[in-house]
């Protein structure tokens, strides 16, 4: 699936992420951030645009209502960051740590999660459109009551992830792995799975497989 990549300028100014505290509207744009340490902080509806953020840590920070567009996160730690009720568009998370990140009730579009760890990430009640999870750890991730449109799970670990009350129609998880999933039988119709995964799905539906 092809998605829109971040529109980031080549001539970005190197800045400190702390500069966002000096802005009246908590906004940073058109800049390069390196090795920022911004943990356990709270920002009121921040906005990030046209940025590259590398090697930075935002652990336990509260960014509820954040608006992120045309931004690339590389080798960053966003574990337990609150990004609920947010707008996240044309964003890449490359080799990032997103343990327990909260993206519930958010609009997420044209976003690529690549080679990242997002175990226990929360996406409940969010709309995901043109989103790719590629080689990403999503153990115990929560996709409860999400709206999916053109979402790919390519070579991911989905063990014990929850897709309850989320329509899986048109979603391909055949290259991903799991031993257990929480999923609603009535919403699994149209999901593409591998023949091996079909055995697991049959067990989820309470079927007993017997060789004859």
So what's the pLDDT on residue 186?
Answer: 82
Residue range 77-132, pLDDT digits in tens:
999 999 999 999 999 999 999 999 999 999 999 999 999 999 999 999 999 999 99
Instruction: Kindly state whether residue 63 falls inside one of the protein's structural domains.
Output: yes
Instruction: Kindly state whether residue 64 falls inside one of the protein's structural domains.
Output: yes
Among candidate residues 112, 113, 107, the one with its CA nearest the CA of residue 126? 107
So what's the pLDDT on residue 207?
Answer: 64
Q: Is 121 within 8 Å of 101 (Cβ atoms)?
A: yes
Residue 129's domain comprises 13-165
Mean pLDDT of 61-90: 98
Q: How many CB atoms lie within 10 A of CB 25?
A: 9
CA–CA gap between residue 132 and residue 150 (Å, rounded): 8
So what's the pLDDT on residue 97?
Answer: 98
CA–CA gap between residue 82 and residue 95 (Å, rounded): 19
Task: Please state which of the ranges 21-30, 64-73, 78-87, 104-113 shows the lowest mean pLDDT.
Answer: 21-30
So what's the pLDDT on residue 1?
Answer: 85
pLDDT band at 197, cuts 50/70/90?
confident
203 phi-psi bin (left φ>0, alpha ψ -120 to 50, beta other): alpha
pLDDT band at 188, cuts 50/70/90?
confident
pLDDT band at 57, cuts 50/70/90?
very high
Could you give the number of structural domains in the chain? 1
* CATH code assigned at 155: 2.160.20.80
Contacts of 26 (CB under 8 A, 6+ apart): 20, 43, 44, 45, 46, 47
Q: How many CB atoms lie within 10 A of CB 198?
A: 12
Instruction: Kindly state whether residue 82 falls inside one of the protein's structural domains.
Output: yes
């Amino acid at each position: 699936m092809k998605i829109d990549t971040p529109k980031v300028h080549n001539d970005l100014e190197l800045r400190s992420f702390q500069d966002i505290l000096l802005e009246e509207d908590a906004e940073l744009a058109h800049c390069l951030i390196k090795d920022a340490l911004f943990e356990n902080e709270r920002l009121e509806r921040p906005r990030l645009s046209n940025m590259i953020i590398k090697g930075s840590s935002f652990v336990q920070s509260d960014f509820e209502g954040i608006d992120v567009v045309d931004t690339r996160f590389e080798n960053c730690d966003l574990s337990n960051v609150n990004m609920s009720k947010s707008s996240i568009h044309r964003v890449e998370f490359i080799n990032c740590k997103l343990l327990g990140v909260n993206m519930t009730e958010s609009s997420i579009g044209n976003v690529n999660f690549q080679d990242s760890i997002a175990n226990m990430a929360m996406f409940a009640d969010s709309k995901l459109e043109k989103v790719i999870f590629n080689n990403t750890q999503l153990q115990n991730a929560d996709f409860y009551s999400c709206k999916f449109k053109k979402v790919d799970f390519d070579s991911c670990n989905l063990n014990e992830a929850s897709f309850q009350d989320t329509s899986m129609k048109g979603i391909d998880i055949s290259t991903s792995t799991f031993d257990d999933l929480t999923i609603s039988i009535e919403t699994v119709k149209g999901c593409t799975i591998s023949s091996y995964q079909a055995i697991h799905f049959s067990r989820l539906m309470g079927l007993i497989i017997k060789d004859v």
